[in-house]
């Protein structure tokens, strides 16, 4: 009879011990999070940024717990973090398997090897007709088209070669883009036709003797641009990069001025320079390739806006086509390389596919309802372009975390995740966070313009818990490297964090 109380008392003791273990573990987990929050708060109150504004949100994707937040609902210029919005919407609405098709068409007829009529390069907004996907050969697609025409017995074109960019509107730049960087590759003109990223690839090497001009070449070697060489070859320089080569192209001009001193012992300088009127550029190079391949072209290169260039839709024939790599590949180029032009093309492509014409307005018609379904109040965001170059773009860390969370839980997370730069491995994070727990762990998008730095993405903690984060800082006046150091430090701390231990 006495066994019952004894066993009951023993059960109470065991139960009490188990409960105390659970409580202790919960306390350890709670204390580790509390400590983490204190450390993060200290980082974002760094006196170096006393005149700047930090916006942060860090959340567990496992539990939904907010680990840390600061000004999370305030509006920030995101810089290239806006590409997360563009690529997330495009992958979801167009699917990763989406491919562009660009056509070479004619409204003429072929007789005795002569095509009597114009040839139209019918743009679809595809940004991939370039060397990036063709083993470095920027004109490979045009060469293949020429070979296709010759195989059909066409040896002469009695007409013009016309670039038809009408799939998109005529605005070549995003709203708010500045004229002072229009020569640079990252501000290349947007349009229904893109060829070689709408750039020419310049190479400068030293001249044969000191005092002579440096040697300037470009690829493709087209006559569409002309170069004014104002460079000078100088004596050997033992302290590179103690020199700088400058490129400048005036507004609506394709005359490129190249200037600067080039030391005779230095390696080649490579830089991509944007062109004006990409459709005419593509038509010009296409004609040059056709001629080089032995097809006589009697007419001139033109764009679709030229007088008499309008296509007669009644008798159009497709001569040949180019099909792009899948969207998943294009998105990887956008996010890892932070390729502005591709982001702009992609945002407008959503409008083209769903509304028949590509521009920012129709792109927003496609993207904004999707953002709303993800819990985002679209009246609180401003997307004036698709890449983040515009100073008028405004989003918050909270909405950015909503984008990342929706993709994490959505159908196309894997291609989205794989498109992001990996810390210490590739893309714009290749040289950041090396030798830390964040290396080959953090997948995140960078964003940098003057007085703006951002980093948003995913990090896996030491015990496997995945955190989603967005960090944005605006209006700082210290070097951008200090902002990146702060962002990297947070990622490194999150990567080494474990709820089961209060140790770092």
Average pLDDT, the chain: 92
How far is 388 from 239, CA to CA, in rounded Å?
35
Residue 10, classified by CB atoms within 10 Å of its CB into exposed (0-12), middle (13-18) or buried (19+), is exposed
Residue 403, number of CB atoms within 10 A of its CB: 25
pLDDT (tens digit, 9 = 90+) per residue, 182-196?
999 999 999 999 999
Q: pLDDT by residue (tens digit) across 269-319?
A: 999 999 999 999 999 999 999 999 999 999 999 999 776 676 666 679 999
What gap in Å lies between CA 321 and CA 158, rounded to an integer? Answer: 21
Does residue 26 carry a pLDDT above 50? no
Q: How confident is the model at residue 238 (pLDDT cuts 50, 70, 90)?
A: low
| Helices assigned H by DSSP within 410-474 | 413-419
Average the pLDDT over 224-238 and give the result.
Answer: 93
Mean pLDDT of all residues in 79-93: 98
Domains and CATH numbers, the chain: 33-96+327-496 (3.40.710.10), 101-323 (3.50.80.20)
What tens digit of pLDDT does each residue of 391-440 get? Answer: 999 999 999 999 999 999 999 999 999 999 999 999 999 999 999 999 99
Please check whether residue 473 is in contact with residue 52, taking contact to mean a CB–CB distance below 8 angstroms: yes
Whole-angstrom Cα distance, residue 502 to residue 109?
Answer: 78
Hey, is 124 helix, strand or coil? coil
Read off the pLDDT band of 201 (50, 70, 90).
Answer: very high
Residues written for the chain:
504
Please say if the pLDDT value at position 363 is more than 90. yes
pLDDT at 17: 45
Contact 446, 454 (CB under 8 A): yes
CA–CA distance, 459 with 286 (Å, rounded to integer): 46
Query: Is pLDDT above 60 for 492?
Result: yes
Contact 389, 71 (CB under 8 A): no
Q: What is the distance between the alpha carbons of residues 100 and 45, in angstroms, rounded to a whole number? A: 47
163 phi/psi in degrees, rounded to 5? -90, 115
Tell me the pLDDT band of 30, cut-offs 50, 70 and 90: confident
pLDDT surpassing 80 at residue 10:
no
CA dist 82 and 447 (Å) reads: 8
Cα distance between residue 487 and residue 218, in whole Å: 38
Give the DSSP letter of residue 422. B
Q: What's the mean pLDDT in 55-62?
A: 98
């Amino acid at each position: 009879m006495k066994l019952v109380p004894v066993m009951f008392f023993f059960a109470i003791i065991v139960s009490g011990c188990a409960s105390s273990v659970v409580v202790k573990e919960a306390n350890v987990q709670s204390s580790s999070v509390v400590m983490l929050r204190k450390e993060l708060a200290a980082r974002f109150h760094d006196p170096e940024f006393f005149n700047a504004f930090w916006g942060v949100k860090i959340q567990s994707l496992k539990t939904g717990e907010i680990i840390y937040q600061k000004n999370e609902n305030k509006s920030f210029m995101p810089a290239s973090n806006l590409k997360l919005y563009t690529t997330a919407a495009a992958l979801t609405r167009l699917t990763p398997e989406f491919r562009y098709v660009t056509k070479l068409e004619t409204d003429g007829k072929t007789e005795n090897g002569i095509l009597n009529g114009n040839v139209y390069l019918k743009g679809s907004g595809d940004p991939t007709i370039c060397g990036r996907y063709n083993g470095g050969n920027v004109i490979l697609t045009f060469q293949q088209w020429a070979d296709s025409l010759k195989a059909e017995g066409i040896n002469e074109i009695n007409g013009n070669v016309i670039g038809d960019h009408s799939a998109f509107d005529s605005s070549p730049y995003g709203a708010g883009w500045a004229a002072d960087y229009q020569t640079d590759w990252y501000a290349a003109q947007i349009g229904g036709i893109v060829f070689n990223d709408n750039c020419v690839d310049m190479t400068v090497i030293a001249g044969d003797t000191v005092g002579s001009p440096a040697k300037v070449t470009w690829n493709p070697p087209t006559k569409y641009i002309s170069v004014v060489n104002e460079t000078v070859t100088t004596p050997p320089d033992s302290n590179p990069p103690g020199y700088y080569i400058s490129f400048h192209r005036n507004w609506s001009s394709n005359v490129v001025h190249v200037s600067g001193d080039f030391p005779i012992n230095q390696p080649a300088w490579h830089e991509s320079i944007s062109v004006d009127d990409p459709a005419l550029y593509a038509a010009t190079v296409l004609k040059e390739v056709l001629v080089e391949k032995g097809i006589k072209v009697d007419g001139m290169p033109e764009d679709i806006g030229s007088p008499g260039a309008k296509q007669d839709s009644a008798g159009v024939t497709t001569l040949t086509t180019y099909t792009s790599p899948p969207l998943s590949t294009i998105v990887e180029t956008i996010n890892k390389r932070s390729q502005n032009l591709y982001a702009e093309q992609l945002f407008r492509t959503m409008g083209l596919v769903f509304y028949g014409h590509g521009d920012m307005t129709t792109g927003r018609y496609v993207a904004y309802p999707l953002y709303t379904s993800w819990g985002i109040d679209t009246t609180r965001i401003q997307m004036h372009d698709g890449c983040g170059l515009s100073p008028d773009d405004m989003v918050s860390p909270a909405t950015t975390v909503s984008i990342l969370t929706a993709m994490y839980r959505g159908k196309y997370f894997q291609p989205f995740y794989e498109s992001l730069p990996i810390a210490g491995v590739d893309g714009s994070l290749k040289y950041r966070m090396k030798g830390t727990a964040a290396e080959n762990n953090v997948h995140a998008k960078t964003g940098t313009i003057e007085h703006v730095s951002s980093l948003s993405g995913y990090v896996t903690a030491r015990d496997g818990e995945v955190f989603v984060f967005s960090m944005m800082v605006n209006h700082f006046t210290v070097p951008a490297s200090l902002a990146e150091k702060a962002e990297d430090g947070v990622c490194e701390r999150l990567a080494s964090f474990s709820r089961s231990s209060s140790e770092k």
